Each structure stands twice: as C-alpha cells, then as structure tokens.
Structure 1
Amino acid sequence: MSLPEAQTEEYNAFFANKSLSDLPAVDKVITVNSSDSVAQATRTLAAHNILSAPVRDSDQPDDAPWLEKYIGTADAVNLMHWLLHQVQDTDGIEDLDMLLRHTAAHTEIANVIDEDKDTARFNPFIPLAKENNTMLDVMLLLGKYAQHRAYIVEPGSDITNVVTQTSLLEFLHAHLDEFPKLVDSTVADLQLGTKKDIVSCKPTDTMQSALLKMRDEHVSALPFVDKANKVLGVVSSRDTRLLIRQPTRLRFLNQPLELFNDLHVAPFDAEVVCCTSSDTLRSVIEKLRKNRVHRVFVVDDDNVLQSVIALRDVIAQFVKEPADSKIEAYFVQRSAAAL
C-alpha cells in the first residue's frame, strides 16, 4: 500500500525538519586501528556488542581530519568473508583451529577491508554533516538504499556519532504517534517484507554451507527452516565472531545446523522473533526494538514462513525519495570511483 501523496509529503517534511542532533548519541565512537589484527578487531566488536566500527589509519595523528584518519569500516560481513577464505580447501588439515588462531593474530584488519570491495573506503563509509544533511537523508540511506550505517562527521575534525538502523529505530519508536495512519496499518495492508525467493537453509546444511550461501546471496542472515518451512533459528554473519574468537569451534563448521539447534548453543540459543500479516507496523517495530534484532519473520497460523521483514523495510515505509534528491547520484558517482 502506498501512502497518499499529501501524507508522503507530510512525513518527508517531518524528517527534513529534524536535525542529525535529534538522533540518539553514542557515549563514545568505538574504532579499531588499521594495524590491529583480525583477532583484536573481533574482540573489540564483541566487547562492545557492535557489528561494525570505523577503521582508523594508525599512521595518522589523533588530530588529523576524519577524511585522512579513516580508511573504511570493519564489520561482521567482511569478517565472515575473511573466515570463509581461510577455511576453504582445508579438508584433512590437522590443527585447523591453531592455524586460524595464528592467522587471525598476524593479519591486519586493514588488509581484510582492502580485499573486500564492499567495506573499503567510502564503501560503505558514508559521511554526513549536521550543516548539510537532515534526518530525511538518513532515512533514505538506511531505508531505500539499505545501508547499515552512516557516520556523522565534523568537517575538518572527527566522527561525532554513528547512525545505525537500530539507533534509527529508537528514534522512530519515540515518534510513532506522529504517524498514526502508517504505524497502525497491518503488515498485509502495507505488503511489507520479502515474499519471493526467500533465501533460507535446512537442518541438514552445515554451518559452512550456510555462511557460503550468505556470502553468495549478499545477505547478512538466513532463516533456518524445517521441512514444513517453519523457522527454527537464524544464522547470521554475527556468528563469525564466535568462530574467530574461539577457533576450537571450527570443528563445528562441517556439522549440520540441527546439531546446534539440539544443543541450544549459538546461533540457536535465542528466540526467533515472528509476527503475522495481521500485526501492525507499530507491533513489528516494538518486536524489533524489544528483541534487538534486525529482522522479523512473518508466519501463518501454522507457523509456516511467509516473508521476512528487515529493519530497512520498516525504515523505508516512512519516507519517499524527493525528485530533487542527490542521493542516487552520489551512489552512482561512488560506484564509478570504485572501478
């Protein structure tokens, strides 16, 4: 369901009139150094329970402007890509955990992000300035353009805040009553979520095959479903952190996912968050926020998977890109520069 044009303009105006200062502020911007090892960077992300962090050039002084100081973003997805590269063609190798432990301790995180075009400088390192950007830009970037984060920078200075889809959800939750017609519409009314070609994995799939499928399908998580297509759990790029921090668990890479489920260990030790097509958008937002997850699974009365609602799908409902927006041109220009 599309909102009436007048309502779309009203919602756009609401966000365009909101400053980036209205977003929840972080106590401290957590960074990793380019000279940090993969193991160190992974520990930093895990210690602060975050999925990504800007990578600071270790050769730059503390007072260097942000444009010179940061070389990209370290996140769970490129750690997953790195891990898969390390374990390919390792069948029969003894002490694989020791090999990974050694490699993770002696590989700089800068090399990892340089090898992955999706996490190199400005891809997806997106800077925003309070003087030039508004909340409407943030909503479009993290909604329509499916970016996971953006950095608020002080021109000539440093990063002052990190905007994630989760922090944006907190902002939306605080302003739900501004959008009664939208948030009280149902999932069915809004035709919300991905229904076709849902990528999933089966109980007999191994952890490694699930991670490979995520990489090949360019997704950060997969639902784990049984023969009846009922959701049992979720495998995500976040789980890579555990394998890198505890290489002894690498022996589970080639074990079927049903083993993890039976043992009730990560990644299947958390409740799967579901909703139905009759739930309202308000309810979906409440579930995403309460459970601190990035997706909700839409199921029918028999608990059979019907669609997947990602955080970006929710964010995208609130705004429509104006005709004079320059965001698409920015991405075109950035893609050309990366070639």
Structure 2
Amino acid sequence: MQVEDLWDVQEPQLSPTEKLNACFESIPVSSFPSAPSSKDIEINSDASLAEAVLLMSQHKVLSAPVVDVDAPEDASWIDRYMGIVEFAGIVVWILHQSEKLDGSDGSELFEAEPDSITGPAVAAAAAANGMSSPRKFGNLSPRSAAIISGKFFETLTSSDFYKNTKVRDISGSFRWAPFLALQKSNSFLTMLLLLSKYRMKSVPVVDPGERKIDNIITQSAVIHMLEECAGLHWFESWGTKTLSELGLPLVKTSRIIKVYEDETVLQAFKLMRQKGVGGVPVVESGGRKAIGNISIRDVQFLLIAPEIYKNYRLADELLFHLLPLIPVIDLLDY
C-alpha cells in the first residue's frame, strides 16, 4: 500500500520501471513483515550436523544462522554469529564424502576424524549465501554409483563421522563478516537487488549495535508479499503481463538441465552443484516427458530416513511415494 501511495506522486515522465524503483527506494527494510516465530531458529556452533539437519527439517527452513558458543555475552552480531549453515552446504559436504568411494569398497569411508574435513569445509562454506562451490564434481564412476545406490546414506548417517561433525565445520561466512546483511534503514530496492541480482536466497536484517538478527527476508517471503499486492494499480500494470511479454530469456530445449529417472539421487545433487541450480526436473528414462522434480532441500529426507533410498530409483519411488511435486514458488528459495 505504501507503493500504491507513492506511485501516483512520482514524476509523470518516469517509466513504470523507474517509478517502481523509486517507490521501493522510498520504503525502508524495517517495514517488511517479520518472519514467523516458527522460522526464527539459531543453531549453536557445537551442534552436530545430524542435529542441524533435524532442527531445520522440523522448522521447515532451508538455512539458519550459526551462533558462536564461545562468543562473549556482550558481543555484537558480527562477533556473535559464525556464519550460515544451509542444505546447499550440506550437499557439498556429502558430495565430498561420496568422492572417497571411488576405488574403495566404502568400508573405511567414514573412519576419518571430523578435524580432517578441511577440504569439504572450504567447499561447503563457499556454498553459503548463494556462492558457487570452488570445485566441480564429475559423474559418478560405475563402482561409486553402485555403492551409493545401496547403503551410502545409511552408512553416512549411522557413522560417528557424521554425528560428530560440527556445524561450525561447514558453516559459510562472507569475507569479513559472518554473512552479508541489511540494516533496517536500507531500502526495499537494495533488498530486492541483493536477492535477485546477486542470487542470494535470504538476507538477514541487523542493526550495527544489536546482538541478534532482527529479521531474515527470503525470496519466498518476497514472492508472497507480491502475491498480496494483486489488485493494486502499480502491481497490475506489470503483474498481469504474460511471461512472453516480460521478455524473459528463453532456454533451448537442448540446454535444459535435467536428470533421468534411473539416475541416482546423489548424481542429481552433483548436477545441481555443477550448474548452480537448486532443483532439476526428472525425465522418464529414454524419453523427454517430465515426471517429477528433485531439489537440494530433498537431501533432508535422505539424512533423516536414509533407509527409504536403499533400493529406490530416483523418480519411480522417491519422488512419487515420498515427496509431493514441489511448487515452483518453493524452488525460488534456491
């Protein structure tokens, strides 16, 4: 409604896009609705990876700030938090573990101590805040694929290595700060630019002198906000246009990123990391028909109940019997 009020007072010679930018520039981030209390979670740095996965799954969030348990009581937010842990970083960590399967029978895969995961930690940290992993993952060898399609997730989740790996080992940080954040005085336009142009999935809102995060704005929350604007003049001027009228770039059929139903779930995760996407369609084997989709967030199901994966093909069982089709709006978080 604030945009609605500002829309009519902007200079008439401005284009609709310029007027919209000017309106969003006039509204502070502090006006954005707070996230539901059920989504307001923090994870201690000494929590295990297993505990973090369970907590995020229970609260239905894709990421959470990591609190440094050794920080002093009077620490500001920049010293209180260590970074962000998210499912994308967890997937990178899992991919590094899967690479150790090559040329082995998997029996000694998870015998290493948590202190020895420097490589995975670097890659996982790079996955935070939407950054790409610094390492590329190739296709699984036939030997690795055979092992992974059997007991990989069961072995991983039952190992001391998984249970003892701490959140601080894979939490991502942003250069000089634990994460890239907005201040309450920043504008809606700045928030939208960070989420879209810089492909961030969520942005914490803080004040320099405060100890805790005031709010976390996600891409999904912005989409829901825009949905509430249906019927308002400024929204209808462009919100009712078709996708073709918006001039969005088209992707050739040959370049569409996809996986086939008989490929392993871990192979799908590798493809997502290679291409920098959060979800891919699942296509019937030997054909072109999409029969489902899988996203990075689905790793939570495999880590909480790994036995479901043991003898299941990607789409035939995992997607249809366990997971409903994920709406496009959910994939926007990635």
What TM-score comes out, normalization by structure 1 length? 0.71
Q: 1:107 aligns with which of 131, 140, 165?
A: 165
Instruction: Assess, with a 3 A threshold, how the Cα gap between structure 1 residues 201 and 36 changes in structure 2: closer, same or farther.
Output: same
Could you say which residue in structure 2 is the equivalent of 1:164?
Answer: 218
Q: Which runs of 5+ in 2 are unaligned?
A: 1-12, 108-150
Q: Does 1:15 align with 2:69?
A: no
**Structure 1 pair 80–126 and aligned structure 2 pair: CA distance change class (3 A):** same
Alpha carbons of structure 1 residues 272 and 36: separation in structure 2 relative to 1, 3 Å: closer
What is the match of residue 150 of structure 1?
Answer: 203
Q: Do the aligned partners of 1:42 and 1:244 also contact (CA within 8 Å) in 2?
A: yes
Instruction: State the SS of the aligned residue for 1:155.
Output: coil
Are positions 1:188 and 2:201 aligned together?
Answer: no
Using the TM superposition, give the Cα deviation of residue 46 of structure 1 relative to its aligned residue in structure 2, in angstroms: 0.5
Identity rate of aligned residues, in percent?
28
Describe the superposition over 1:84-142 as per-residue Cα deviations: whole angstroms up to 9, x where unpaired.
222334363366524432222100011113xxxxx3235892211112x1100011111
Give the Å deviation of 1:22.
2.1
Contact in 1 for aligned 2:78/2:178 (Cα 8 Å) = no
Name the CA shift for 1:70/1:222 in 2 (closer, same or farther; >3 Å). same
Structure 1: runs of 5+ lacking an equivalent: 114-118, 274-287, 295-309, 313-339
Q: Does 1:198 align with 2:252?
A: no
* Structure 1 residue identity aligned to 2:209: G
Within 2, Cα distance between the matches of 1:230 and 1:155? 51
Q: Can you list the C-alpha shifts for 1:268-306, whole angstroms capped at 9, x where unaligned?
A: x31355xxxxxxxxxxxxxx5xxx522xxxxxxxxxxxx
Q: Which residue of 2 aligns with 1:235?
A: 294
Aligned ranges 1:69-148 → 2 under 5 Å? 69-90=80-101, 92-93=105-106, 96=152, 97-101=154-158, 102-113=160-171, 119-121=172-174, 125-131=179-185, 133-148=186-201
Displacement of 1:175 in angstroms is 2.4
1:213 maps onto 2:250 in alignment? no
1:147 & 1:186 partners in 2: Cα distance? 25
CA separation in 2, counterparts of 1:63 and 1:143? Answer: 34
The superposition leaves residues 181-237 of structure 1 with CA deviations (integer Å, 9 ceiling, x where unpaired) of: 211110111133652422111122221211111122121111112354332111111
Cα contact 2:64–2:85 (8 A) shared by 1: yes
Among residues 6, 28, 50, which one is paired with 2:15 in the alignment? 6
Tell which deviates more after alignment, 26-35 or 152-161.
Answer: 26-35
SS at match of 2:310: helix
Aligned counterparts of 1:200 and 1:188: Cα–Cα separation in 2: 23
Q: What's the offset of the Cα at 1:18?
A: 1.4
Structure 1 or 2, whichever has the larger Rg, is 2
How far, CA to CA, are the matches of 1:34 and 1:194 in structure 2?
43
Q: How does 1:263-302 map to 2 (within 5 A)?
A: 264-266=320-322, 269-271=323-325, 273=327, 292-294=329-331
Asked whether the equivalents of residues 291 and 315 of structure 2 are also in contact (C-alpha less than 8 Å), the reply is no
Offset of residue 247 of structure 1: 3.3
Contact between 1:165 and 1:311, CA under 8 Å: does it hold in 2?
yes
TM-superposition CA deviations, 1:238-290 (whole Å, max 9, x none)? 111122222334535xx5323326x7233xx31355xxxxxxxxxxxxxx5xx
The total of aligned residue pairs comes to 266
Say what the alpha-carbon RMSD is for the aligned residues: 2.5
Quick one: distance in 2 between partners of 1:126 and 1:161?
A: 13
Contact 2:48 2:166 in 1 (8 A): yes
Secondary structure class of the residue paired with 1:188: coil
| CA pair 265-208 structure 1, distance change in 2 beyond 3 A | same
Q: 1:84 to 1:136 in 2, by over 3 A?
A: same
CA distance in 2, matches of 1:87, 1:199: 22
With over 3 angstroms needed to count, the CA separation of the structure-2 counterparts of 1:67 and 1:173, relative to structure 1, is same
Distance 1:208 1:223, change over 3 A: same
Deviations 1:126-167 (A, max 9, x none): 211112x11000111111221101010021212100000011
Aligned equivalent of 1:54: 65
Q: Quick one: distance in 2 between partners of 1:311 and 1:30?
A: 17
